Structure 1
Amino acid sequence: MTVREQQQQREAQTLADWATPSVKTQGRQKPMDECPYRTCYQRDRDRIIHSKAFRRLSNKTQVFISPEGDHYRARLTHTLEVAQIARTVARALSLNEDLTEAIALGHDLGHTPFGHAGERALDEVCPLGFRHNEQSLRMVDKLEELNLTHEVRDGIICHTGSRKACTPEGRIIHYADRIAYINHDIDDAVRGGLIRAEDIPKALRDRLGDSHGKRIDTMVTAMIEYGMEHREIGMDERVHDAMMELRRFMFDYVYRGTEAQSEETRARNMLRSLYEYFVEHPDELPADYFVLMTQGDPLERVVCDYIACMTDRYSITAYKRLFIPKSWNKIED
């Protein structure tokens, strides 16, 4: 037996009967020889980690645009926190941790610079629309051609919105993403002086916990207990309602109209300007993107591809190059 076959045998012995073992995968879009050492989901995880899109997440905004300080979350740290939460739930429920981790690590690969402000900017200006989960799938399918399994691809596109993933591992990410961002955004908002921990309504502190760790523990425990009882991914209604109320609190006091988001309008205007410029000057797109147009992709979608692949720093550099006058010195005779 190969190492992979031994691992598949262990999966058969240890995973719950409602889990997704790697031998049951629906496969890849393009045939690929099996790895002798890794299951298909382990291979997907590794392909994502070694992708350019994953590396770029370290220089993309999570929520707070251009914060000063070393401890604010970027898109990469958010992704890692989602993966940690998701694996904890998957392990407790005897689901497939490798599949869960692969989806978690890939779920935000298509996110724009400047977080959801960038996503809204492209959605407003592009007639084809823009959704970061759809762009994440396009990233792994076409822009980097990672050729991932059906289950990982499905989990990536279904991590947000009303559509449910086809596997319980994919459905974990829908909750883990929300648990992660609500709690780490509270942590960052308190660190930035936007709110105090005591500003969170007392009823929510009593129900969910009065610290970052206690809140996550409450929510994760609620998921695990729900899964053990119902053999499905979900959360106790009382805890879920409190989590959603806490999310509304964050929208009211952190995500909208705060000093930390004062640069959001500028970021959106900047990305809209970049989009309009490259639609008008497609000859200035990098050569790799011309290939996409020769394959039949609309110019508007390819321009979104280019901008969504930018990091915060790169988009600022591109904007300066295209729109900010350069200084010059005239040499006198």
Structure 2
Amino acid sequence: MPTASRTHPTGPVAEAFEARIREQEERALSPRATRSYPAERERPAADCGLRTPFQRDRDRIVHCKAFRRLKHKTQVFVAPEGDHYRTRLTHTLEVTQISRTVARALGLNEDLTEAIGLGHDLGHPPFGHIGEDVIDRCLRQRFGRRFRHHEHSLRVVERLERDGVGLNLTAPVRDGILCHSGRAPQPRTLEGGIVRLLDRVAYINHDIDDAIRAGVLDERDLPPEPIAVLGGTGPQRIDALVHDVVEHSARAGDAIVQGETAGAAMAELRTFMFERVYLGPAARAEHGKIERVLRTLFDHYAEQPDEIPVLLPPADADLAERVTDYLAGMTDRYCIRQFEALTVPSAFNP
């Protein structure tokens, strides 16, 4: 694929930057690591003289609107009372930090890993996985389509950001974003495989922490077998899982994997969390309310499409995409405000 040459060099540092990075990567990175050059983008673009292509992707993600909205999107607890619960943004940062640790230990490309980690949940809708399930069912029932947040994350960076132009990210970053979910094919790069696995490591352990803080769980409720294997605290479990991934992946060479014992322990914790937290009594109590909010908005905008803001040129999206793009991009609080505007008389709606 042709690439545009660098333009407007600022001096000798910029002129020598790519050659220096290439030399450093050949010397320091694993032969299986993804190299930063050449940049493989849908639209050729001039390289930056002070950032690698993956660093540039990272910056484009951090500065985009969808990334800023993550701070007001649910991770597990809807509109939590308190400042210390995770949001989709803090989850994203935690996944990225842990993933970079693994990439560094394995001699893989940290910049690529970071860009994938920061972009992996850009397409998550309001109200966490409950919101994803509701939008998916609405789409299936009205339009015969499916909603998957990992697929929508790719749509955000390719089609929705920058008024429909997209972020023009490199192919390995786009692949890692799309394939971070267990419902997607395996990523093409080991760096993408890191984010795919460490996303699960992060959310299981951090969600346990938040569930205990919220009083949904007591530490004594946790299943004893995986706790005995991985540790009694969140930091201990994450540390054990990270070390396990690094050691077993180093031996595997061509894949990011867990050891059998640690993998089984984490799987048991995940099953426990789905039963007790994600789909437990507290979540089910909120599920009906969230479904009513999202379904009301979905049906309204499907029937009144003129009320949907223009996110893309009209010819670039059909009705199902327009409704989905608008709803999935909402923060929790904006979604509630739109629901109130539709259902509460204006005299009672502050």
Question: In which range does the TM-score fall when normalised by the shorter chain?
Answer: over 0.9
Q: Is the 8 A contact 2:274 2:280 kept in 1?
A: no
CA distance in 1, matches of 2:258, 2:90: 24
Structure 2 residue ranges without an equivalent (≥5): 1-14
The CA deviation at 1:272 is 1.2
**Residues 178-257 of structure 1 aligned to structure 2 (within 5 Å):** 178-231=200-253, 232-257=255-280
1:134 correspondence with 2:151: yes
CA distance in structure 2 between the aligned counterparts of 1:186 and 1:124, rounded to whole angstroms: 28
The answer as to 2:179 corresponding to 1:154 is no
Deviations 1:47-90 (A, max 9, x none): 00000000000000001111101100000000001001100000
Query: Structure 1 pair 5/269, CA: closer, same or farther in 2 (3 Å)?
Result: farther
| CA apart distance, 1:325 | 1.2
Partner in structure 1 of residue 293 of structure 2: 270
Provide the rounded CA distance (Å) in 2 between the counterparts of 1:288 and 1:239: 44
Task: State which of 109, 118, 124 in structure 2 corresponds to 1:96.
Answer: 109
C-alpha displacement at 1:162, in angstroms?
4.3
Asked whether 1:302 is paired with 2:322, we answer: yes
Aligned to 1:331: none
- Inter-partner Cα distance in structure 1 for 2:281 and 2:84: 19
Does the aligned pair in 1 maintain the 2:160–2:311 contact within 8 Å? no
Letter in 2 for 1:41: F
Q: How far, CA to CA, are the matches of 1:147 and 1:197 in structure 2?
A: 45
Letter in 1 for 2:149: H
The two structures have a TM-score, normalised by structure 1, of 0.95
Q: Does 1:49 align with 2:62?
A: yes
* Residues 79-138 of structure 1: CA deviation (Å, up to 9, x unaligned): 001001100000000000000000000000000010111111110011321100000000
**Aligned-pair identity (%):** 49
Give deviations 1:248-290, integer Å, cap 9, x for gaps: 011111111322552222112211111111111111111334x
The letter of the residue matching 1:253 is: R
Preserved contact between residue 121 and residue 269 of structure 1 (Cα < 8 Å): no
Instruction: Report the CA distance shift for 1:268/1:4 in structure 2 as closer, same or farther (over 3 A).
Output: farther
Instruction: Say whether the 8 Å CA contact 2:230–2:262 is kept in structure 1.
Output: yes
Q: Could you tell me how far apart the structure 2 residues matched to 1:236 and 1:276 are? A: 46
SS for the counterpart of 2:86 is: coil
Q: Which amino acid aligns with 1:155?
A: G
Give the whole-Å Cα distance in 2 for the aligned partners of 1:261 and 1:210.
Answer: 28
Q: d(CA) in 2 for partners of 1:166 and 1:288?
A: 30
| SS at structure 1 position matched to 2:37 | helix
- Cα distance in 1 for partners of 2:220, 2:267 equals 18
Aligned equivalents of 2:287, 2:23: Cα separation in 1? 51
Match of 1:22 among 36, 53, 75: 36
How many pairs align? Answer: 324
Q: Does 1:119 align with 2:132?
A: yes
Cα offset for 1:15? 0.5
Q: Following the alignment from structure 2 to structure 1, what is the Cα–Cα distance between the partners of residues 223 and 158?
A: 43
| 1:4-23 CA-partner distances (Å, limit 9, x unpaired) | 33223211211100100112
RMSD: 1.2
Superposition TM-score, scaled by structure 2 size: 0.90
Does 1:258 pair with 2:315? no
AA matched with 2:307 = E
Unaligned segments of structure 1, at least 5 residues: 329-333
Equivalent position to 1:166, from 188, 197, 200: 188
What is the rounded CA distance, in whole Å, between the counterparts of 1:227 and 1:244 in structure 2? 18
In structure 1, the residue matched to 2:6 is: none
Task: Tell me the SS of whatever aligns to 1:67.
Answer: coil
1:85 maps to a residue whose letter is: I
1:310 corresponds to which letter in structure 2?
M
In structure 2, what residue type is equivalent to 1:92?
Answer: A
Q: CA deviation at 1:202?
A: 1.5
Q: Which runs of 4+ in 1 moved over 4 A?
A: none
2:311 matches 1:318: no
Find the aligned partners of 1:4 and 1:109 in 2 and give their Cα distance.
29
Counterpart CA distance in 2 for 1:258 and 1:5 is: 57
CA distance in structure 2 between the aligned counterparts of 1:129 and 1:299, rounded to whole angstroms: 14
Q: Given that residues 19 and 169 in structure 1 are in contact (C-alpha distance below 8 angstroms), is that contact kept between their aligned partners in structure 2? A: yes
Q: Which has the higher contact order (CA 8 A, sep 6+)?
A: 1
Structure 1 Cα separation of the partners of residues 280 and 234 of structure 2:
24
